[in-house]
């Protein structure tokens, strides 16, 4: 493997926060808002949708899994393509695919057609995650990376709030048989509008360097420096130039970065199994335990989203202060305990879900940060894609598994979700002993 000596990456890390960084993060970070809107709006309208299409409980849970299956395909395929052809070239394609799949779901008249649309939408959003998370990690100065990555992840809950409010409004305004269709139309149109913002997003300089396109990388860095008002002097470092195939990239991840891969894969597993397991468990099982209507389910989801947003933003701020290790251990342990709050039947489920979400939904704001920053730029998007495949596969089985087990006794469903949290806690505990703290360090130094 060849290396290029350049000071561009250090110059990027030495820059102050500018208006460019804000525009860049907003344009790409909106993906997390869309992802959450998609997932939560499905949960909010899943009950009336299942009723009109005459779906069984198992078929309804499979629609959630179908979206995850599509995301698995998209993450792996578009993750590799993002490393091969660049981050920017994938931004619009994946967003259009997501928009089309979501919009067409509103026309579903059978389980089969709905499943196909969910898979297409999932493929688009899965591809978005790999390309965009890589670009953000590679553009944001090291001293701000934890706060920015954590905040963007926390914005998932903003999308969740938007979806919950939309679900409440639609279910109040329209008949249930039509409200769920409007929800999907709304999600598809919202995504389409964001395409225009993406047109102004530049390519990742770190990716350009890894492809030996130094002149283009230099021009982009100079543009940012011009907006910042100065050009910092920085030391040069060696950047690897990767020219291998997808098989070579896989070999590097599974050999040179095998321990990082095991850790980050466990983070992806924990985040997605606990989240998708819970948001399916709530409308299909807990709604019966607490005797909740479709409207009340949307209300509970809203309270959870507010809790998740508050918790996520708090953790995002603490990322670059306390560090990733203590946060990850503490939050995963408390989340494992918080699941058992749902054994309390005499308490308002909105309060229970708020407290649970305040803790549990903040975990991604530290886990995703460290899981994506421990790889070099030349394989980062593909590595994230592979991690997403593992997480999405795990998340795809979680809804059906949790619901199936909970149908015997809802308390068994609670224990199942707690066991998912145990995986994350154990992995972070081991990493805190064996791994390095990444707070404030340049990506090149970490990887």
Mean pLDDT calculated for residue range 33-58 = 79
More confident residue, 304 or 331: 331
Tell me how many degrees the CA angle 432-436-441 measures, rounded to the nearest 5: 135
What crossing angle do the helices spanning 142-154 and 111-139 adopt, rounded to 10°?
Answer: 160
Q: Evaluate if residue 198 carries a pLDDT over 80.
A: no
pLDDT at site 334: 97
| Percent of the chain's residues with pLDDT above 70 | 97
The helices-and-strands tally (H runs, E runs) of the chain is: 20, 2
270-321 per-position pLDDT tens digit: 998 998 899 888 888 888 888 888 778 878 888 888 999 999 999 998 988 8
Mean pLDDT calculated for residue range 56-79 = 82
Mean pLDDT calculated for residue range 148-153 = 84
Q: Residues with Cβ < 8 Å from 213, sequence gap 6 or more?
A: none
Mean pLDDT calculated for residue range 35-40 = 72
Contact predicate 66/118, CB 8 Å: yes
Cα separation of 52 and 36, whole Å? Answer: 24
Instruction: Tell me the torsion sign for CA atoms 250, 255, 261, 262.
Output: positive
What does pLDDT average to over the chain?
Answer: 84
Contact predicate 358/311, CB 8 Å: yes
Query: Which stretch, 142-151, 162-171, 219-228, 416-425, has highest mean pLDDT?
Result: 416-425
pLDDT at site 311: 94
**DSSP secondary structure letters along 72-107:** HHHHHHHHHHHHHH-SHHHHHHHHHHHHHHHHHHTT
Confidence of residue 133 (pLDDT cuts 50, 70, 90): confident
Cα separation of 221 and 208, whole Å? Answer: 11
Q: Evaluate if residue 1 carries a pLDDT over 70.
A: no
Tell me how many degrees the CA angle 411-389-264 measures, rounded to the nearest 5: 80
Residue for token digits 């990493």? 431
**DSSP secondary structure letters along 347-373:** S-HHHHHHHHHHHHTTTHHHHHHHHHH
Q: Specify the pTM.
A: 0.77
pLDDT at site 100: 92
Tell me how many degrees the CA angle 30-34-38 measures, rounded to the nearest 5: 170
Mean pLDDT calculated for residue range 382-410 = 85
More confident residue, 372 or 244: 372
Confidence of residue 14 (pLDDT cuts 50, 70, 90): confident
Mean pLDDT calculated for residue range 120-141 = 80
pLDDT at site 357: 93
Q: Residues with Cβ < 8 Å from 249, sequence gap 6 or more?
A: 80, 83, 242, 379, 382, 383
361-390 per-position pLDDT tens digit: 999 999 988 888 888 877 887 888 888 788
Q: Determine the straight-line distance between the first and last CA of the chain, rounded to whole angstroms.
A: 15
For residue 76, CA distances in Å to 83, 277, 362 come to 11, 22, 26
Contact predicate 198/92, CB 8 Å: yes
């Amino acid at each position: 493997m060849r290396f290029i000596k350049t000071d561009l990456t250090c110059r990027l890390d030495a820059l102050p926060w500018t208006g460019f960084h804000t525009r860049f993060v907003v344009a790409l970070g909106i993906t997390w808002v869309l992802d959450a809107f998609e997932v939560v709006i499905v949960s909010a309208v899943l009950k009336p949708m299942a009723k009109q299409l005459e779906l069984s409980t198992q078929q309804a849970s499979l629609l959630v899994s179908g979206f995850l299956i599509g995301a698995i395909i998209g993450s792996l395929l578009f993750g590799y393509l993002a490393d091969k052809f660049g981050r920017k070239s994938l931004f619009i394609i994946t967003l259009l695919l997501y928009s089309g799949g979501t919009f067409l779901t509103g026309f579903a008249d059978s389980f089969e057609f709905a499943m196909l649309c969910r898979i297409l939408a999932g493929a688009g959003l899965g591809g978005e995650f790999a390309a965009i998370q890589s670009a953000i990690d590679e553009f944001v100065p090291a001293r701000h990376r934890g706060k920015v990555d954590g905040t963007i992840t926390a914005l998932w809950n903003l999308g969740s709030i938007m979806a919950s409010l939309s679900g409440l409004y639609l279910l109040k305004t329209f008949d249930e048989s039509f409200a769920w269709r409007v929800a999907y139309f709304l999600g598809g149109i919202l995504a389409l509008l964001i395409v225009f913002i993406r047109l102004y997003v530049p390519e990742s300089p770190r990716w350009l360097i890894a492809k030996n396109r130094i002149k283009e990388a230099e021009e982009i860095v100079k543009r940012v420096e011009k907006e910042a008002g100065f050009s910092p002097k920085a030391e040069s470092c060696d950047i690897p130039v990767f020219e291998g195939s997808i098989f070579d990239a896989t070999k590097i991840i599974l050999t040179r970065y095998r321990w990082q891969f095991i850790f980050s894969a466990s983070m992806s597993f924990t985040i997605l199994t606990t989240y998708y397991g819970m948001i399916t468990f709530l409308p299909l099982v807990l709604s019966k335990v607490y005797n909740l209507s479709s409207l009340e389910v949307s209300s509970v989801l809203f309270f959870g989203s507010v809790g998740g947003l508050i918790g996520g933003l708090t953790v995002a701020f603490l990322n670059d202060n306390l560090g990733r290790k203590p946060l990850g251990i503490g939050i995963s342990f408390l989340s494992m305990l918080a699941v058992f709050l749902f054994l309390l039947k005499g308490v308002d489920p909105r309060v229970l879900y708020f407290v649970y979400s305040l803790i549990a939904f903040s975990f991604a704001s530290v886990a995703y940060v460290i899981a994506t920053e421990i790889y070099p730029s030349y394989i980062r998007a593909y590595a994230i894609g592979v991690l997403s495949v593992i997480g999405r596969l795990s998340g795809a089985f979680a809804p059906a598994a949790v619901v199936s087990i909970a149908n015997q006794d809802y308390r068994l469903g609670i224990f199942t979700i707690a066991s998912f949290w145990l995986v994350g806690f154990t992995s972070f505990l081991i990493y805190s002993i064996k791994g390095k703290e990444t707070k404030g360090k340049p990506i090149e130094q970490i990887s």
